[in-house]
Amino acid sequence: MGTDQEQCTSHRIHGTHSIHSICSIFSLVGVLLYVTVGGVNIAKDYLYVIGVTVIGTIGLTLAYSHVANWLNKQKKGTSTKAEQLMFTLFYNNAFYVFLVFSR
């Protein structure tokens, strides 16, 4: 075990709120791509941008929880939150890349 401060930091980093934060950041990266590559005007299309960001964040959060639960079952409950986070980020990104390039 670690010190109380390390445990508090670990909980803050790997807690539920951090998962929502990470998913929100990834969704906002999509907005950046819409603006820079797609030429979306945020002032004109703000409802579209907000809707896609919210839906993307919810989708990523659900994907994280499903993959984390699956990993936890595979390892019979011995996986840590850090392992779950790293594996789910890898798995979800690999799945997305597969979908994009399989066309």
| Mean pLDDT per 10-residue section of the chain, whose length is 103 residues | 42 56 77 82 86 83 83 82 81 80 75
What are the Cα distances from residue 34, in Å, to 21, 53, 58, 62, 95?
20, 11, 19, 23, 21
Degrees to nearest 5, angle at CA 78 with 5 and 13: 30
> What is the C-alpha separation between 15 and 1, in angstroms, rounded?
17
Residue 101's SS3 state is helix
Identify the burial level of 71 via C-beta atoms within 10 angstroms of its C-beta, where 0-12 means exposed, 13-18 middle and 19 or more buried: middle
Residue pLDDT, tens place only, 70-84: 888 888 888 787 888
- The per-residue pLDDT for 16 is 57
